[in-house]
Amino acid sequence: MAGTSTARQQSRAGVQVRSVPKVDSPWPFRFVLLSLIFDFGRPQEVIPFIKIIPFPTIINALIAISVFTSGKVNFRNPQTKLWMPLLGLMVVHVPIAVNNFWAAMTLKDMGLVFCLYLGLIIYVNTFDKLRTLVSVWIGLHVITAVLGIASGGSGVGGWMGDENDFCMVINMVIPFAFFMIYSEPGPLNRVKYIGLLALFVFTVMVTLSRGGFIGMTAAGAYCWFRSTMKFGAIFIVILLVLFMAAVAPDKYWDEIKSSFSNEEMETGTGGDRLYIWGIGFEMFLANPLFGVGQGNFPWAFEEYEAGREFMEKSRAGRAAHSLYFTLLPEMGLVGVIVFVGMLYWNRSDIRTIERLAKAFPDKDKDGKDNRDKTTAILMGRAMEGSLIGFLVSSVFISTLWYPSVWVMMGFVVALRNIVVDRARALGVATAGIVDGAPRSGIALPKLGKNAKTV
């Protein structure tokens, strides 16, 4: 009461009293970074005693506690809303799946990933935090790339231990290295990111992953297509091709050329995958709406294989070796609709990011180039290229329940929210984007003739 009385007296005396703005704790954002470190850096695989303590579970639980006690939880983003039917379907599957344990464990893992997703979209709320997030994420991939090269192409362990899975992870970071060449000013920074791009490409070659090569090609084609500096991009591509020709062993090119040979498609891993996919499709047709349950493809396979064999062996107990032939039989049409819906809204968000960011001023208040504008546009493109690298690589590997795509969705939503908030602060009309309104009819100020676009 005394403090209130003093404030009133100061107000009456003409003294302006200002409330001290509340400063958010830095720890929730740090927990998000720590979660990424344990998910993608995998220190628990390198330092044995760390594995004794379930740090990833503890950290994501701390993120969840922080999120749900912060009062900042909202479901305005369609991707966040779509998490609800996905997790709900997974809950339903636990008691009725063939293997209840794997259904429950997959649900638990996805619940933890959802906590990280919420942490990303709530606590990565400024351009500075976004840049820190991307820098840490790229740095983690640099470490895993070096360790992967040292191990002959295998990942550091856990869900990315297999060389094909590891290659998919590297394909997702290649677009970030490419677009950071243009995002970070200065020749030294450009040389640095060109060097990182070469490191990641070399890592892909070391894995000898044929599907990974196709995924890298798709991500690279996207990067060139979305670059506004086509001649500079061609120069970088030529450098990378020359680099690949100089360092790639003959074994690598022989492996790539064998991808679609008759022998490979009849009796090799190609034929093996086609056999598994065919039975997986039969599994989907028998359970078209809801599927057989998350994590249950290997356990339900024997029933649908029905005594058939490939090369005189049953394939029961093996993964589908494809994201798509995991999604279809395990989650049915409901899961497909949810997943495709998430991808659709990610693409919509990336278009929104670019349209709004292009309306930002070219110069900041100090007269320098507006770094936030460049960051928004190029990071949006990097995220889209990352998703393309994931989706193409995942044609041949079972990646659905890995954190990669779900975390990247969190990146996209976080960037979209940051850009919308900045646009509102700058007075850029965002009708049809915020507060749950339909995302159409975005009114933007016209750019002047001399306005610079990225």
Separation CA 51–CA 53 (nearest Å): 5
Q: Which pLDDT does position 261 carry in this prediction? A: 61
Long-range contacts of 148-157 (CB under 8 A, 24+ apart): 148/203, 148/206, 148/207, 149/202, 149/203, 149/206, 152/206, 153/206, 153/207, 153/208, 153/209, 154/207, 155/42, 156/41, 156/42, 156/45, 156/46, 157/42, 157/45, 157/46
* Residues of the chain by 3-state class (helix, strand, coil), percent to 5: 70, 0, 30
Nearest one of 370, 363, 372 to 420, comparing CA atoms: 372
Separation CA 318–CA 315 (nearest Å): 6
Nearest one of 160, 167, 401 to 297, comparing CA atoms: 401
Q: What is the value of pTM for the model shown?
A: 0.88
Q: Which pLDDT does position 446 carry in this prediction? A: 40
The rounded Cα 452 to chain-centroid distance in angstroms is: 29
In the chain (454 residues long), the average pLDDT of successive 10-residue segments reads 50 48 79 96 88 92 93 89 97 96 97 97 96 96 95 89 94 95 83 93 91 93 86 77 77 68 62 90 96 96 86 83 96 98 97 94 79 94 97 95 97 97 84 46 39 44
